[in-house]
Amino acid sequence: MPDNENLQAEKITTMYVTTWCPYCRNVKRWLDTHGVPFTTVDIEQDEQAAQFVMSVNGGNQTVPTVVFPDGSVETNPNASYLAKKFPQVASK
């Protein structure tokens, strides 16, 4: 699992995903379209990542779970939420 502290220090958004999740694809598409750098971690391949996701989602493995560069965490953020988190790119 990537070291969240290092990713936050580098100002990288981390998205915890599964390969079959359509909501994950939607968030990835928004981030790609707007040029937001991010990394993904498949919780089905990384037990520590799965444990982290459960720790921030009341024991559930809910994806996408996104950790933003400011350290905040959001589960399944919609386009409006992402635009507010990344106003510098949302207007492009």
Per-residue pLDDT band for 7 (boundaries 50, 70, 90) equals very low
Pick the residue with more confidence: 5 or 31? 31
CATH of the domain at 55: 3.40.30.10
Helix/strand/coil (H/E/C) assignment for every residue in 64-79? CEEECCCCCEEECCCH
Q: Is 91 helix (H, G, I), strand (E, B) or coil?
A: coil
The whole-number average pLDDT for the span 9-29 is 93
Cα distance from N-terminal residue to C-terminal residue, the chain: 32
Question: Residue 88: what pLDDT?
Answer: 84
pTM comes to 0.85
Q: Are 8 and 69 in contact (CB under 8 A)?
A: yes
Count: domains in the chain: 1
Average pLDDT, the chain: 91
User: What is the C-alpha to C-alpha distance for residues 4 and 91, in angstroms, rounded to an integer?
Assistant: 28
Lowest mean pLDDT, pick from 2-16, 27-41, 58-72, 76-90: 2-16
Angle, vertex CA 11, rays to CA 6 and CA 72, nearest 5 = 90
Residue 24 lies in domain: 4-82
